[in-house]
Amino acid sequence: MKTLDGKVAIVTGAGSVEYGHGTGDAMAINFARHGARVVLFDIDEERANRTLKTINQERGIASIVIGDVSKAADCDLGTSVAVEQFGSIDILVNNVAIIPRGNVVDVTEEEWDQVFAVNLKSMMLMSKSCIKYMVSNGGGSIINISSTEGQRGQDWLPFVAYSTSKGAAVTLTTSMAVQHGKDNIRVNCIAPGMIYTPLIAPHISDEVRTLRRMGAPLDIEGNAWDVANAAVFLASDNARWITGTTLPVDGGLLATQSLSLIDRFTDLAEK
């Protein structure tokens, strides 16, 4: 028996780009590999179809919903499709995010509002839409994807709107965990560190990529599959007594600070 046999999962931002794997598609594929039936929720149909193709090739089960998770009607569509096609919702992963660059002086009001709509409001809307089904089903697991950037400050590559939204995701997680524990709904958070994904690739050089790896105690470059493996655990019954927790998947980054590496990051960012 597989870890997630019989479970139904919704993953937002589950589409695949043409090269590499992001956290969304890696989690969706990994859920299917572990026996879940997966609803791939993405705003881009072409990307969603790439993930679907991979799951189908591996003889997994999945379907697609195309929509904007910052819109309540689209969120309700996604949950209704999951219930109509698969009968229930057991797992929700709030993964979708955008990352405009800039500090508080540089970021525009429109960029700030868009980041909070996509990165944070979507978590609230999707959770609101899913929880009623989880309650009727006797419980469930919600996983919010945050970031180590939501738990520390840095200057070498400023994403102030993104970082702030990801910090808020941690607080949302603890609040939801306390408020919905009585419904047997577990709510946890994953905070990826400086993993290498297609989302971050355009922003960094090869030298910065190496320094990012060296900035954590484990001299290993993290990738989307590290996050996907953590998500399978938190979604499964193996984590039945874990809720309200933020799990860093960061190679130990939050456990240490290397000032020399931070100085190097800053120097490179200014070039």
Is 162 marked active-site?
Answer: yes
CA neighbor of 227 nearest in space, from 204, 209, 250, 258: 250
Number of domains in the chain: 1
Is position 125 within any domain? yes
**Which two structure tokens, joined as six digits, stand for 122?**
């979507």
Catalytic residue among 19, 133, 162, 196: 162
Read off the pLDDT of residues 50-69 as tens digits, 9 standing for 90 and up. 999 999 999 999 999 999 99
- Half-sphere exposure of 94 toward its Cβ, with a 13 Å CA cutoff? 35
187 lies in some domain: yes
CA distance 118 to 113: 9
Express each pLDDT in 180-236 by its tens digit: 999 999 999 999 998 888 877 777 788 878 887 887 889 899 999 999 999 999 999
pTM for the structure as a whole: 0.93
CATH code, domain with 63: 3.40.50.720
Model pLDDT for residues 132-165, shown as the tens digit of each residue: 999 999 999 999 999 998 887 766 668 899 999 9
Q: Tell me whether residue 80 is in a domain.
A: yes
Q: Determine, yes or no, domain membership for 156.
A: yes
| Closest to 131 in 3D by CA, of 85, 190, 90, 72 | 90
pLDDT recorded at residue 259 = 47
Domain for residue 270, yes or no?
no
CA distance 143 to 141: 7
| Alpha helices (runs of H) in the chain, residue ranges in sequence order | 23-33, 45-57, 72-86, 109-116, 122-136, 160-180, 206-214, 224-235, 259-270
Query: Domain range spanning residue 131?
Result: 8-202+220-252
Are 169 and 143 contacting, i.e. CB atoms less than 8 angstroms apart? no
CA 34 – CA 75 distance, rounded (Å): 25
